[in-house]
Amino acid sequence: MDILTGVVTRNMLQDEHRRPKRSPTSTLARVSKSARLDTTTSLVSVSEDLSNSEFSNYKGSSCCEDASDLGGDISIVSSTTDRESDVCGIPPAWAENRAEISCGALPWFRAAQGAAYQNDGRCHGFLLSGDGGEHTYIDDEVVITRIGGDCEKKKGQLVLRKDQNPQGARVRALRQLVETGGLLRLIIGGERHPLGRKLPYKYNVMGEFRTTHIWEEKVNGHAAYKVRFEKSDLSRMSWWAKKGSPLPLPVNDRDFERKPISSECTECNQESLQVYSEAWMCLHRGCGQFGKVEKDVPRCRTFHPDFLQCRSRSTPSLKCPLPLSSNAAARKLAGASTFNEDGWKGIVCEECGRCMPRTKWAYWECPSCGWKLEIAPPLVGIDRVCLPKELEARAAERKACPPLWDIGWSVDKVSLSPYLLVTYRLEGVGSVTHILAGSDTNGRPGGPNEMFRQLQEGELGLERRKLGASLVGGTLTAHFSVNYGMPYKFIVPVDDHGFAGAPDVALRGLGRLVWATEKAAVSNGDRFEQPNELLVLGYMKGMHIGYHDDGEDTLGPTVATLSLGAKSVMRIRMKSKYYHGLKRKGGKTLREEDPVLPGCMDEDLRRELKRELEDGLIDQSQYELRRAQIREDPFKRKTAPKDPPRILELNVAHGDMVVMHGAKFQKYYEHEVIPDGNLRFALTARYVKPEMIENARHALGQFNLTPEQVYNGQ
């Protein structure tokens, strides 16, 4: 064997098999009487016919090129071989980023991070990437890697930091597959994938595998689990085989009696397989000889031919429990189910095989070849997303939500009748105005009930967009959006459409929000700035926006939102950096500016300290020192909440409007909206400062509402 290249020809393996086996070190082990331990008893498999997959017209369903073009010796390739070699076929499904792989297109792999995806105690999919650890191995039929987890990065490499738990979910899920013979699917890809060949795409579905062995080794002084996967269909050429490789050995000509060597440890009297050619070692962590080998055994080891070449017979009746793709489920969507979680998850392109999340409101579209799957969304009546008692209640009959903190608030049934007006005031910051609607406003011509229907009927251009900053590249927003009027970034950049081309329902919503914005500004004694931008968001079941603020420097002091459809909960809290007085969440460095907002952590101590500084009783250095001492109090650090507590939790119903007003509100506070799970739209209007936008785009924010689109509060 050439250790540097990791290439072993079939003839070399046969010669090795015929030679006498190297005896295990006598002080550590004795060869078992049987000399073999069959750890794959009851292991069964199935051949997944990719050419007859769920999308029969997929151009990549042929696993390899014509057999007449193949020839030469079969080779076994490790991760150290020439990475410029081409593969002989293309995968049944693929993706260009991790978010596409985990978007739901592959129901058996929905893990946004980590190598394994398990559900209900069973491992369904496993990703092979550049972090497979020492002695990662892959050839045309066998994969050996660590199971992942319990690692930390050092100098760009993942390093095991503790013993892996034998009762951990991932270990138990893989062990269950060994014991039952169940199948899973593998994916290969990432920045530094372990296959020594050029992959067709960034992430590539390999196919169905059985899990034949799971064992422990000592890595960096810790017990680490490794796993061996074996391709279930041995009759077909693997698409990732090197281009020009011969066809695999026919199943009837294979030696299924060949098993790994097993030896018994002289200390614990338990048998362990011989995994490596250079030495046998005990693989039981409770033994004093666990992982020990003679000093002259090299660190760079090669896998024993018997361990690599043993194979298990297939059982064609057994299949992976989950389908290869979510396409069949997507095609069955009908009625309200179009808007459930399955409705906005991904599918696999039936032309080119790319995994693609749903980015368009009414259909899936492949970003590579343009193939579409259109699902005509049904018209969902407001009675399908709201309870009868919610639709029948008048605004005055609804209950206002008291604040969760000691802040000023008032309830007014008269000023904006028939609406119920609830105002919450944050000292020195601004206000939150909740305008509660009811049956006496929602059912009127052109009102929220009609608008909810119109939003579904029209083509608004709603799309899901990529997040600019996320742990997983390519992650999409958990909502659909479209922007009308002046340019606005929101959480992600959004394509801008001028009001001149906005549909009537959007302008009706704008008219209502102009009215609400004016009422909030005037009640605070501030100048009214008419909104010139409207963001429309659409939520399907399971979607929501986490905590965020609308504090772009291009915006005015007021943000107004109209909610249509299912009810939701709006939560408002102080930003962590102001609550804790730190530069960033979870950090230790104090903020230079400490406004000491009402309700912040250690408010009394911080406020008194700031007063002493302003009165000249202490200088800046003393101020910083004492601030740090407050933060470093051991008891306070132990009992301090990780996240700031909520100050408001508003029950926002169909037709309600919420106005956040104040130049400092978005700076110091943040909010999130949690829908109850049914279809919902949110229309949000803001004032974008024209002086912050290039002149050529000012026309986007100009509009003239018709009399029917202007709202008067009724």
Which residues have C-beta within 8 Å of that of residue 491, sequence separation ≥ 6? 467, 477, 545, 548
Give the number of other Cβ atoms within 10 Å of residue 603's Cβ. Answer: 13
Strand 355-356 versus strand 347-348 pairing type: antiparallel
Which residues have C-beta within 8 Å of that of residue 469, sequence separation ≥ 6? none
Mapped onto helix, strand or coil, the DSSP state of residue 573 is: strand
Name the helix (H) or strand (E) containing 607: helix 603-614
Which residues have C-beta within 8 Å of that of residue 512, sequence separation ≥ 6? 562, 657, 711
Which residue type, as a one-letter code, is found at position 673? Answer: V
Which residue type, as a one-letter code, is found at position 476? Answer: L
In 147-293 the beta strands, taken as DSSP E runs, fall at: 151-154, 157-160, 183-189, 203-219, 222-231, 261-265, 271-273
CA-CA distance, 10 to 77, in Å (whole number)? 12
Rounded (5°) CA angle 432-435-436: 130
Half-sphere exposure of 607 (CA within 13 A, CB side): 10
CA-CA distance, 258 to 142, in Å (whole number)? 15
- Render the burial of 147-169: b for 16+ CB within 10 Å, e for the rest: bbbbbeeeeeebebeebbeeeee
Mapped onto helix, strand or coil, the DSSP state of residue 418 is: coil
DSSP single-letter state for residue 493? -
In contact, 155 and 97? CB cutoff 8 Å: no
Assigned token pair, 442:
């929602």
Name the helix (H) or strand (E) containing 651: strand 646-652
Give the number of other Cβ atoms within 10 Å of residue 74's Cβ. Answer: 19
Rounded (5°) CA angle 480-482-488: 120
DSSP single-letter state for residue 519? H
Task: Give phi and psi for 603, each to the nearest 5.
Answer: -55, -50
Assigned token pair, 81:
């071989």
User: Is the peptide bond preceding residue 418 cis, with omega within 30 degrees of 0?
Assistant: yes
Mapped onto helix, strand or coil, the DSSP state of residue 302 is: coil
What is the 3-state secondary structure of 443-470?
CCCCCHHHHHHHHHHCCCCCECCECCCC
Mapped onto helix, strand or coil, the DSSP state of residue 144 is: strand
Assigned token pair, 417:
């009748």
CA 423 remoteness from chain centre: 37
Say if residue 654 carries a ligand binding annotation: no
Assigned token pair, 197:
């060949």
CA-CA distance, 194 to 187, in Å (whole number)? 11
Q: Which of 383, 436, 424 minimizes the C-alpha distance to 656?
A: 436
Q: Mark out the alpha helices in 632-698 (DSSP H runs).
A: 634-639, 665-668
Task: Give phi and psi for 223, each to the nearest 5.
Answer: -80, 120
CA-CA distance, 447 to 449, in Å (whole number)? 6
CA 26 remoteness from chain centre: 51
CA 482 remoteness from chain centre: 23
CA-CA distance, 170 to 149, in Å (whole number)? 9
Q: Which of 519, 529, 559 minimizes the C-alpha distance to 412?
A: 519
Binding residues for 2-oxoglutarate, as ranges, are 539, 548
Binding residues, as ranges, are 539, 548
